[in-house]
């Protein structure tokens, strides 16, 4: 078995946003590696029922689907408690994966819209982390992975909400990595790279976008090495290297200004 497979073998894992896209691919990947139990947490009952039944057929007794509104702290606490019970008291891995892509002009976005954006893309992870830490501490350790986005390193015009929420989540995750290091609770930030999922809505994904399974495979490999930051594709690597590099400031200004002008004219480029 690969080193990645060994890491997930016999683990109990929870994935929010686990009934579709990258979340579902993460669940399938861990089950294929021999995870003991995997919980698909999602707000969409139809998808939960369908995908749980399908995976239960392949991995009997190893799959649980739970409906969860991740913007509601009590819902998240209850979901984590039920997941640990399903795992016979253990919770080894938590993927805070649920989130939404957000776009629009800043002046047209209300404070209420900003609060909703942070509720799903940031506070949902805070709730999951708070609920999981006591369980992981009691069992001697665990691993929490927060799925961010390359936009955290390449903040895009007309995507202020998405940029801000994912940057905040990345900052939280990397700070917590050292706060809990000595308790053997590992924290990892992971970008999926440019991936073909429902997050694109009616917009066609860029050429070269990878599948959810490809993205999940890269994330799981990096997680198995307990990496600080897992970068899903070459664009995310370059963004992480260059975006805050003072030597690249002039080039970054030129690139992002071109994006802003193109988008303002109606051409959605990335």
The DSSP line for the chain is --HHHHHHTT-EEEEETTTSHHHHHHHHHHHHTT-SEEEEEES-HHHHHHHHHHHHHHSTTSEEEEE--TTSHHHHHHHHHHHHHHTTT---EEEE-------B-GGG--HHHHHHHHIIIIIHHHHHHHHHHHHHHHHT-EEEEEE--GGGTSPPTTBHHHHHHHHHHHHHHHHHHHHSGGGTEEEEEE---SB-SGGGTTSPPPTTPBPHHHHHHHHHHHHHTT-SEE--SHHHHHHHHHTT-GGGHHHHHHHHHHHHHHHHTT----
7 an active-site residue?
Answer: no
Catalytic residue among 7, 123, 127, 162: 162
Active site residues: 162
């Amino acid at each position: 078995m690969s080193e990645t497979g060994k890491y997930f073998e016999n683990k109990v894992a929870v994935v929010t946003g686990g009934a579709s896209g990258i979340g579902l691919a993460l669940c399938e990947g861990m089950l294929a590696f021999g995870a003991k139990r995997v919980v698909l947490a999602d707000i969409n009952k139809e998808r939960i029922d369908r995908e749980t039944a399908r995976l239960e057929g392949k991995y009997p007794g190893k799959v649980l689907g739970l409906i969860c509104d991740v913007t509601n702290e009590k819902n998240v606490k209850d979901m984590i408690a039920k997941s640990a019970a399903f795992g016979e008291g253990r919770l080894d891995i938590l993927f805070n994966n649920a989130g939404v892509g957000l776009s629009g002009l800043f002046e047209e976005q209300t404070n209420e819209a900003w609060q909703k954006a942070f509720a799903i893309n940031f506070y949902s992870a805070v709730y999951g982390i708070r609920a999981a830490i006591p369980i992981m501490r009691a069992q001697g350790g665990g691993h929490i992975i927060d799925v961010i986005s390359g936009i955290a390193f390449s903040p895009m015009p007309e995507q202020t909400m998405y940029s801000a929420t994912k940057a905040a989540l990345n900052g939280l995750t990397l700070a917590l990595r050292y706060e809990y290091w000595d308790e053997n609770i590992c924290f990892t930030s992971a970008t999926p790279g440019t991936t073909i999922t429902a997050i694109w809505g009616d917009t066609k994904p860029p050429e070269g976008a990878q599948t959810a399974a490809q993205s999940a495979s890269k994330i799981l490999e990096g997680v198995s090495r307990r990496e600080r930051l897992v970068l899903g594709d070459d664009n995310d690597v370059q963004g992480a290297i260059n975006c805050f590099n003072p030597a690249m400031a002039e080039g970054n200004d030129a690139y992002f200004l071109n994006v802003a002008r193109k988008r303002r004219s109606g051409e959605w480029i990335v």
